[in-house]
Amino acid sequence: MAGDWNDLTRMTGDSRFVVERVRMVETGIAIEGSFDLPPLARLPAEDQVFVMAFLRSRGNMKEMERVFGISYPTVKNRLDGIAARLDSVEVDMGPQRSDPLSRLERGEISFEEALERIAGN
């Protein structure tokens, strides 16, 4: 019987779990091992719903206030709390992450180093 992440979230509650078997529907290929869930799937169900509503409203705080019947500060605090639990997520920024100006901005290299890298030296 196929289920979805919502079913899984309801069954497990806030208990941590790992997935040990993954099967691709189109090919029938199954992979066994120990797989952690993506960070958003590890959130409690009510936070997952809140994040989905936030995305569906395209980040419109007034819409979030209306949908959940809560004030702007409550929406903001709730989002801040969720974001704090996701802080350990590393985002692959691709090539822009290593470009000289980005590295200079983050203080990883000096101005002179950035100029050299831009000039191709």
Q: List the domain range (segments joined by +) for residue 79.
A: 5-85
Same domain, 10 and 57: yes
Task: Give the model's pLDDT for residue 3.
Answer: 53
Per-residue model confidence as pLDDT tens digits over 84-102: 888 655 555 555 556 788 8
Task: Give the model's pLDDT for residue 1.
Answer: 40
Q: Is the dihedral of CA 42, 67, 56, 84 positive or negative?
A: negative
Domain tally, the chain:
2
DSSP assignments along 38-85, one per residue: PGGGGS-HHHHHHHHHHHHTTT-HHHHHHHHT--HHHHHHHHHHHHHH
How sure is the predictor about 110, in pLDDT bands with cuts at 50, 70 and 90?
confident
Task: Give the model's pLDDT for residue 118.
Answer: 83
How much of the chain is in helix, strand and coil states, percent to nearest 5?
A: 55, 10, 35
Same domain, 29 and 49: yes
Q: How much is the pTM?
A: 0.55
Same domain, 78 and 105: no
